[in-house]
Amino acid sequence: MTRWWNQLLSRVYGWVPALSERAGRRLRRVDQVPLPRLAPLATPLSASRVGIVTAGGVHLAADPPFDMQDPEGDGSFRVIPGDVAVDTLRITHDYYDHRAADEDVNCVFPIERLRELVAGGDVGAVAPRHVGLMGHLSGRQIERLLGRGTDAITKLFATDGVDLVLTVPG
């Protein structure tokens, strides 16, 4: 399918939520990923360093956009600095209507809201690095993300001493 068709479909899903719910129910469950045992938060939220993973296709404008030509999506990821200026971010994702997030990226990547919660004392610190990826993956691109991608993302957050990661869909 062409990009314009995917973009049109994403808007139709926004207009008629029942259609997106139906499509969601038909998606294949990723059974090969066992759920981990819950790790208790070692420090209170007010002292925790928090990172964000957004599946909304957010990336630095200076970085390569996600590949919209492969019908299986793009299983790569982009690193976003914690002190990023939001006007240097872009969204490349044809499978959801991101006009609202184009206007305010916090809709899918709440980095400014996280900074404010740190300033207000609710959260300890903003992680120095965050991750942007795109949802709507299938086939080989899921394998790509679940293989080296998730290992690299996990190591990135572990290296940075992140206590808690918030994952946000598009």
Partner 1 sequence: MLEGTPAPRNVFVPFRLGQVLGEPGHVAQQQAVLRAALGAVTGVADSGGLLELPFRWKRGPYPVPIGIAERPSASIDAQRDLDGVGR
Gap between the terminal Cα atoms of the chain: 20
Smallest gap from Cβ 65 to partner 1, in A, equals: 17
Q: What is the spatial distance between Cα 91 and Cα 108, in angstroms, rounded to a whole number?
A: 10
Task: Tell me which residue has tokens 């990172």.
Answer: 51
Nearer to partner 1, 29 or 62 (CB): 29
Smallest gap from Cβ 147 to partner 1, in A, equals: 16
Q: What is the spatial distance between Cα 121 and Cα 132, in angstroms, rounded to a whole number?
A: 26
Nearer to partner 1, 25 or 62 (CB): 25
**Cβ count within 10 A of residue 10:** 19
Nearer to partner 1, 39 or 62 (CB): 39
Q: What is the spatial distance between Cα 119 and Cα 100, in angstroms, rounded to a whole number?
A: 25
Q: Which residues bind partner 1 (CB under 8 A)?
A: 10, 13-14, 17, 20, 24-25, 27-30, 33, 35-39, 41, 45, 50, 56, 96-101, 103-104, 106-108, 110, 113-117, 119-120, 122-123, 164, 166-170
